[in-house]
Amino acid sequence: MLDFPLYYQLTRLYADYAAALDAGEWEKWPDFFVEDCVYKVMPRENYERGYPLATMAFESRGMLKDRIYGATETIFHDPYYQRHVVGAPRVLLAQDGRIESEASYAVFRTKPSQLTTVFNVGHYLDVIRQTPDGLKFESRLCIFDSELIPNSLIYPI
């Protein structure tokens, strides 16, 4: 469905996204998205039943910037590191400058002086748009498998 250079760009988008979050480069996160984007973190149960309720839901790059400001400037929490392990993206559809793809992910969390724990596991369901600045997420659904999540979902998945 995709030629190799375009598939390479797709895998770089996934890898660069995870690397920015793992490095705590939060200010880069909104730049992975087009202006009129959708970003949601939702339980698998809600997604499969067609329920719109999401744990996090943002509908523009501006809202993503607001979330980063809130997470870095106003929310007080125990510090922690995240580490994303993301599977190779599987292309579902590619046409008219858009790619629909999915990839499994696992996010691990490490707090200082504590053991690393599994924080969130699921899959991304993405719509990606080709732009003059490269591939950008038009929509990213982070569908997590567990019905329960820690009450400290602060940073992007």
- Residue 37: per-residue pLDDT: 98
Cα–Cα distance measured from residue 130 to residue 145, given in angstroms and rounded to the nearest whole number: 29
- Residue 73: per-residue pLDDT: 87
- Residue 61: per-residue pLDDT: 97
- Residue 154: per-residue pLDDT: 87
Torsions phi, psi for 78 (to 5 deg): -65, 135
- Segment 4-17 mean pLDDT: 98
Instruction: Reduce the DSSP state of residue 93 to 3 states and report it.
Output: strand
Query: Which helix or strand (DSSP H or E) is residue 35 part of?
Result: strand 33-43
Task: Render pLDDT for 46-104 as a digit per residue (tens, 0 to 9).
Answer: 999 999 999 999 999 999 999 999 888 887 778 889 999 999 999 999 999 999 999 99
Taking the domains of the chain in order of start, what are their residue ranges? 4-144
- The rounded percent of the chain whose pLDDT value lies above 70 is 99
Q: Please state the pTM of the whole predicted model.
A: 0.94
Q: Give me the CATH topology for the region 4-144.
A: Nuclear Transport Factor 2; Chain: A, (3.10.450)
- Segment 8-28 mean pLDDT: 97
DSSP 89: P
